[in-house]
Amino acid sequence: MEKIHVHQGLIILQSSKHMAELIPEVRSNLVMAREDAGVIDDVVGVPGRITTVDGNVKAFTMPEWGASSHMARMVLEVMKHDPERRCALNLRYNTVVIEICEKLGLKVSSYNRREEPEEQHKIEGKTVSWGVEQAISSLGEVPDIIYHTGDWGKEPIIALIGHDPVEVASMAVCMAELFHVRKNKK
């Protein structure tokens, strides 16, 4: 069922005229975990990630179990605090997007990758868990948006957290549309 839900979310993302503006250089992934998820293989993602072609969002493969390690780790960490929040999508960081999220009433929190303890930083994949814990601790609850402003060689990213891929994809498209309008007003 999770594969079908992620596929439905991909259809929503790919149908947006402006979603490509929020796809980061590292590309995006839309993930959804099983209810009882505990490991990366319990999370559906898009192999090869979601990219852009001629200004449009494109996923070239169907969702698969274990296809995303980075976003899967994020969802698994979030689920430790709220098991109902089983879905996430990473987006391009922009201060305007953060402002839009706040105006939409989304709960926003962040972490600073430069403050990560050195012993934590050395272990591949630990930054995500540490960052999610920092963002949740800072807000006092699981946010809808977790972002960081990058570090040496690391692109700044926004993660949109939700209950299911249709909800997350629909919110991302809304954010992209508002971002496009705001960007073109200047």
Any bridge partners for residue 137, and if so which?
Answer: none
Distance between CA atoms of residues 183 and 127, nearest Å: 31
Q: What is the pLDDT of residue 154?
A: 77
| E-only strand ranges, 13-125 | 30-33, 43-45, 50-53, 56-59, 64-65, 87-92, 108-110
Largest CA-CA distance found in the chain, in angstroms, rounded = 46
Q: What is the pLDDT of residue 116?
A: 67
pTM for this predicted structure: 0.94
pLDDT given at position 8: 98
- What domains are defined for the chain? 2-185 (3.40.225.10)
Give the pLDDT of residue 185.
82
Q: Are strands 30-33 and 64-65 parallel, antiparallel or unpaired?
A: unpaired
Distance CA 39, CA 25 (A): 26
Alpha carbon distance 18, 56 (integer Å): 8
Please report the pLDDT score of residue 186 as a whole number: 62
For the chain, residues with pLDDT lower than 50 are none
Q: Distance between CA atoms of 9 and 13, rounded to whole angstroms?
A: 6
How far is 82 from 66, CA to CA, in rounded Å?
Answer: 21
pLDDT of residue 124: 63
What integer pLDDT is reported at residue 121 of this predicted model? 61
Alpha carbon distances (Å) from 133 to 22, 140, 142, 145, 161: 25, 10, 9, 13, 14
Q: How high is the pLDDT of residue 183?
A: 87
Strand partners, 162: 87
Q: Give the residue carrying structure tokens 């909800």.
A: 167
pLDDT at 123 (0 to 100): 62
